[in-house]
């Protein structure tokens, strides 16, 4: 029998990851280095927000409290969010944004492929739809990391700095807790630890091509996906994202 509370929590994690990162990426709209990147980043953000609608929509159904995807996105406070800390980190420069995107994309694709085999048909359906988009995300962000890492001295330096800065946020995505254990036991989601080898192999290949050095550290910031400890950045994101709904409750076009 599925633990409904854990199931709801897991769905919120998937949806909150894409919601928060989607909002972060959308901040580049109108500000990217060139028009093609502006369009590409906007499309990536739209993909992620579309996936959010599916994950949080299902979460609302599972919870059974008559909350819609919009309610879960716009009417929860920071301590109720379950996104991993990586997704809420600031954009920084273009290189930092693309490094953050690549680190998330590789994990995202791995877990979605596992979720395609989920014992819950709705989860498998969402994963099958999302994986088509995320395959492109991985290819694009990886190619950009390689181009900038193996580019000029300046672009290489910035990409190495970005990798050094963001690598400590990777570990949280692979550290299982009681929710992850319940989902794995029910066959809803794969074991997180089983995804790490493929992630490291992919990461090693791309970083070698980018002439970048992966930090030799196992330290991992944690607390985001459990809601125990988010960075200060999430509050600023929610202030921007939720202000209209908070100022005018129930407003619609």
Segment 62-101, tens digit of pLDDT: 999 999 999 999 999 999 999 999 999 999 999 999 999 9
Q: How far apart are CA 84 and CA 172, in angstroms?
A: 7
Instruction: Say how many domains are in the chain.
Output: 1
Dihedral (Cα; 141, 142, 147, 153), 10-degree rounding: 90
Find the largest Cα–Cα distance for the chain: 56
Domain CATH code at residue 239: 1.20.1260.10
Q: Could you tell me the two tokens for 21?
A: 């990162």
Q: Flag whether 253 is in a domain.
A: no
Q: Please enumerate in sequence order all residues whose Cβ is within 8 A of that of 154, keeping only pairs 6 or more positions apart, or say none.
A: none
Give me the domain span that covers residue 153: 4-247
Q: Flag whether 168 is in a domain.
A: yes
Residue 1's pLDDT is 56
Residue 2 has pLDDT above 90, yes or no: no
Q: How much is the mean pLDDT over the chain?
A: 96
Q: Flag whether 186 is in a domain.
A: yes
Q: Flag whether 252 is in a domain.
A: no
Q: Could you tell me the two tokens for 204?
A: 């090693």
Q: How far apart are CA 87 and CA 4, in angstroms?
A: 25
Residue 253 has pLDDT above 80, yes or no: no
Q: Flag whether 137 is in a domain.
A: yes
Residue 251's pLDDT is 81
Q: Flag whether 184 is in a domain.
A: yes
């Amino acid at each position: 029998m599925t633990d409904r509370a854990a199931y709801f929590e897991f769905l919120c994690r998937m949806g909150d990851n894409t919601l928060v990162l989607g909002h972060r990426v959308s901040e580049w709209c109108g500000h990217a280095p060139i028009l093609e990147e502006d369009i590409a980043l906007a499309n990536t953000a739209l993909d992620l927000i579309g996936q959010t609608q599916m994950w949080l929509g299902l979460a609302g159904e599972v919870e059974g409290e008559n909350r819609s995807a919009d309610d879960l996105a716009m009417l929860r406070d920071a301590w109720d969010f379950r996104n991993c800390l990586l997704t809420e980190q600031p954009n920084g420069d273009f290189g930092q944004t693309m490094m953050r995107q690549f680190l998330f994309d590789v994990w995202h694709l791995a877990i979605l492929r596992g979720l395609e085999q989920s014992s819950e048909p709705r989860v498998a359906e969402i994963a099958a739809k999302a994986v088509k988009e995320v395959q492109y995300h991985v290819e694009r962000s990886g190619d950009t990391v390689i181009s900038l890492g193996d580019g000029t001295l300046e672009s290489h330096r910035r990409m190495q700095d970005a990798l050094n800065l963001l690598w400590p946020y990777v570990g949280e995505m692979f550290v299982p807790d009681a929710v992850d254990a319940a989902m794995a036991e029910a066959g809803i989601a794969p074991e997180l630890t089983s995804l790490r080898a493929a992630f490291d192999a992919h990461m090693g290949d791309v970083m070698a091509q980018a002439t970048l050095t992966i930090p030799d550290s196992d330290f991992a910031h944690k607390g985001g996906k459990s809601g125990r400890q988010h960075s200060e950045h999430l509050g600023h994101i929610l202030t921007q994202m939720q202000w209209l709904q908070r100022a005018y409750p129930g407003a619609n076009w």
